[in-house]
């Protein structure tokens, strides 16, 4: 146990470079704390001569990460390449098959292939650790694997994507539209040139799939997640949320019900008084509701070189200590098949915004469509802008549209969608209806 743990790192981007720097800074302290050293012996990346601000000449260079993955000179393979399949998947499989411990930050790989990879790691008696795959520096994987092991987890949910949270925060604070704030986020480096993976909710869904398996002991089932993004959120929705006592956040929610597991990603109205409503900017937040521990919330940086490298380092330290756990808590042979929950009423109700034609009978027709689906309305409000534009006559004329907001009591989403489809068909509204869930936290 006293010999150093020898690492091979594949991928020297932001996180990989951050990890090298972290190990350089902490090497003496780590050796003192662990009773053994941790040393990088080999690396692999797409470009050898790129200026990364680190000296990689100290390490053996591999052009091919597959060769690095099976090298006899390493004990643990650190995969920081990224991507659902391709070379990332091949190199992780190669390392596990060669009896190497694996540490990865690759949420997409785990969301699509995690169950299979966990079984391979168990067969070889090696670790497959992935703390950095969810929520940056927040130790949610370790918490579920260890701290909540004596609990029955009932629900896990949170803000799992910093890009979306940054955009929604800016829209609220500055009263600007989605497209304008997205462009700013791209210029600041918080959003990719092609932001779809983040803003359409897929990044959050990958992370949620992993958390669901850990929380409830099921096989990972990414394809079972209902996913909505934030691109339809308008300043009018954010203003209405504020008036009603809510803030809008993109949440990933997984919960256990009597009929199965529910997984969903979507914009959500959360009460202003809740701790989650106060999480702004690129910060992430994960909450766990368990029978014994109660309600626990973890908040911290969701991305970035140092925060993510910190989580990768925690996985490496576990391996250096000899801690090897089943990757998904439950041995893969004992994982339950994923069983989706039956449709049930959403307890928090729904926010609905309509652009209604200002004509006789429109409101009555809308109310009738809601009644046909047995939807009970808590409130219905005509919304006008808080401030009129200079020189604009705010008086109403026949044929104008009126922004109308409705809040429902607990009801089925299918009923809401049927009613809104009928309202659209009736020609009482001029644009697609907006629907946002209201969550009880």
Query: Tokens at residue 166, please?
Result: 């940054």
Residue ranges of alpha helices (H) inside 333-391 are 362-372
Strand partners, 429: 356
The yes-or-no answer on residue 207 being catalytic is yes
Domain assignment present for 395: yes
Query: Tokens at residue 259, please?
Result: 């009929």
Q: Please state, in angstroms and rounded to a whole number, the distance separating the CA atoms of residues 198 and 220.
A: 20
Domain assignment present for 331: no
Asked if 148 and 128 sit in the same domain, the reply is no
Asked if 113 and 162 sit in the same domain, the reply is no
DSSP assigned state of 411: B
Q: What is the pLDDT of residue 388?
A: 45
CATH number at residue 372: 3.30.70.260
Asked if 280 and 170 sit in the same domain, the reply is yes
Asked if 57 and 183 sit in the same domain, the reply is no
Reference 224, options 246, 189, 254, 179; nearest CA is 254
* DSSP H or E stretch at residue 283: strand 283-290
Asked if 256 and 277 sit in the same domain, the reply is yes
pTM for the complete prediction? 0.93
Domain assignment present for 83: yes
* DSSP H or E stretch at residue 119: helix 107-124
Asked if 158 and 295 sit in the same domain, the reply is yes
Q: What is the pLDDT of residue 399?
A: 57
Asked if 263 and 401 sit in the same domain, the reply is no
Q: Which of 269, 302, 335 is the last residue of a domain?
A: 302
Task: Please count the residues of the chain.
Answer: 441
Q: Please state, in angstroms and rounded to a whole number, the distance separating the CA atoms of residues 234 and 238.
A: 7
Asked if 28 and 150 sit in the same domain, the reply is no
Query: Tokens at residue 133, please?
Result: 């795959």
* DSSP H or E stretch at residue 28: helix 14-34
Catalytic residue among 89, 100, 170, 207: 207
Asked if 292 and 388 sit in the same domain, the reply is no
Q: What is the pLDDT of residue 398?
A: 54
Q: Which of 302, 319, 336 is the last residue of a domain?
A: 302
Domain assignment present for 116: yes
Strand bridging mode 260-271 / 434-438: parallel
Asked if 158 and 77 sit in the same domain, the reply is no
State CA 279 to chain mean position distance: 14
- Count of domains forming the chain: 3
Domain assignment present for 316: no
Distances (CA, A) of 6 to 18, 40, 126, 243, 361: 18, 6, 15, 57, 75
Cβ atoms 411, 435 nearer than 8 A: no
Contacts of 35 (CB under 8 A, 6+ apart): 1, 2
Domain containing residue 60: 5-133
Reference 416, options 362, 365, 358, 376; nearest CA is 376
Q: In 10 A of CB 197, how many CB atoms? A: 18
Domain assignment present for 14: yes
Q: Please state, in angstroms and rounded to a whole number, the distance separating the CA atoms of residues 272 and 278.
A: 7
Cβ atoms 215, 153 nearer than 8 A: yes
Q: What is the pLDDT of residue 303?
A: 87
Strand partners, 129: 103
Q: Please state, in angstroms and rounded to a whole number, the distance separating the CA atoms of residues 367 and 287.
A: 37
Q: What is the pLDDT of residue 348?
A: 87
Domain assignment present for 338: no
Asked if 99 and 167 sit in the same domain, the reply is no
Dihedral-angle region of residue 352 (phi above 0 means left; psi in -120 to 50 means alpha; beta otherwise): beta
Q: What is the pLDDT of residue 391?
A: 44
Distances (CA, A) of 310 to 34, 147, 218, 307: 16, 19, 28, 5
Asked if 158 and 266 sit in the same domain, the reply is yes
Gyration radius of the chain over CA positions: 25
Q: Which of 133, 168, 199 is the last residue of a domain?
A: 133
Q: Please state, in angstroms and rounded to a whole number, the distance separating the CA atoms of residues 199 and 161.
A: 9
Give the pLDDT confidence of 252-295 residue by residue, as tens digits: 999 999 999 999 999 999 999 999 999 999 999 999 999 999 99
Reference 134, options 276, 328, 337; nearest CA is 328
Helix axes 362-372, 413-426, angle to 10 degrees: 150
Domain assignment present for 156: yes
CATH number at residue 62: 3.40.50.720
CATH number at residue 228: 3.30.360.10
Please list the ranges in the chain whose pLDDT falls under 70.
1, 383-399
Distances (CA, A) of 49 to 15, 52, 87: 18, 9, 21
Q: Please state, in angstroms and rounded to a whole number, the distance separating the CA atoms of residues 439 and 228.
A: 15
Give the pLDDT confidence of 117-150 residue by residue, as tens digits: 999 999 999 999 999 999 999 999 999 999 999 9
Q: What is the pLDDT of residue 343?
A: 82
Q: Please state, in angstroms and rounded to a whole number, the distance separating the CA atoms of residues 201 and 231.
A: 10
């Amino acid at each position: 146990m006293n010999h150093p743990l020898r690492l091979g790192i594949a991928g020297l981007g932001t996180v990989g470079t951050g990890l090298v720097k972290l190990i350089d800074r902490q090497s003496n302290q780590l050796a003192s704390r662990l009773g053994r050293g941790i040393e990088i012996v080999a690396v692999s990346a797409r470009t050898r001569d790129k200026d990364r601000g680190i000296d990689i000449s100290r390490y053996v260079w591999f052009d091919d990460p597959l060769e690095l993955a099976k090298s006899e000179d390493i004990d643990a393979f650190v995969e920081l390449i990224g991507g659902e399949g391709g070379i990332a998947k091949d190199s992780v499989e190669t390392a596990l098959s060669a009896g190497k411990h694996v540490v990865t930050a690759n949420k997409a790989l785990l969301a699509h292939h995690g169950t299979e990879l966990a079984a391979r790691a168990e067969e070889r008696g090696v670790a497959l650790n992935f703390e950095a795959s969810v929520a940056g520096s927040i130790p949610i994987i370790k918490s579920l694997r260890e701290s909540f092991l004596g609990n029955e987890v009932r629900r896990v949910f949170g803000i799992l994507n910093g890009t979306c949270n940054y955009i929604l925060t800016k829209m609220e604070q500055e009263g600007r539209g989605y497209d304008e704030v997205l462009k700013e986020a791209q210029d600041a480096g918080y959003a990719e040139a092609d932001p779809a993976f983040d803003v359409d909710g897929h990044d959050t869904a990958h992370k949620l799939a992993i958390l669901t398996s850990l929380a409830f002991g099921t096989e990972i089932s990414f394809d079972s997640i209902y996913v909505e993004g934030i691109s339809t959120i308008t300043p009018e929705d954010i203003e209405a949320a504020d008036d009603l006592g809510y803030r809008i956040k993109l949440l990933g929610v997984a919960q256990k019900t009597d009929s199965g597991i529910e997984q969903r990603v979507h914009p959500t109205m959360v009460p202003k008084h809740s701790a989650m409503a106060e999480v702004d900017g690129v910060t992430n937040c994960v909450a766990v509701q368990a029978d014994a521990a109660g309600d626990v919330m973890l908040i911290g940086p969701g991305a970035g070189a140092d925060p993510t490298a910190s989580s990768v380092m925690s996985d490496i330290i576990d391996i250096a200590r000899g801690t090897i756990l089943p990757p998904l808590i439950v041995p893969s042979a004992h994982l339950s098949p994923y069983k989706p929950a039956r449709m049930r009423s959403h307890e928090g109700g729904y926010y609905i915004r309509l652009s209604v034609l200002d004509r006789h009978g429109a409101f009555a027709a809308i109310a009738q469509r809601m009644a046909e689906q047995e939807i009970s309305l808590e409130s219905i409000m005509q919304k006008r802008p808080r401030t009129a534009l200079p020189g604009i006559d705010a008086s109403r004329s026949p044929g104008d549209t009126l922004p109308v907001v409705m809040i429902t009591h607990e009801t089925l989403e299918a009923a809401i969608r049927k009613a809104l489809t009928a309202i659209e068909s009736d020609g009482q509204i001029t644009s697609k209806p907006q629907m946002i869930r209201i969550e009880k936290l």
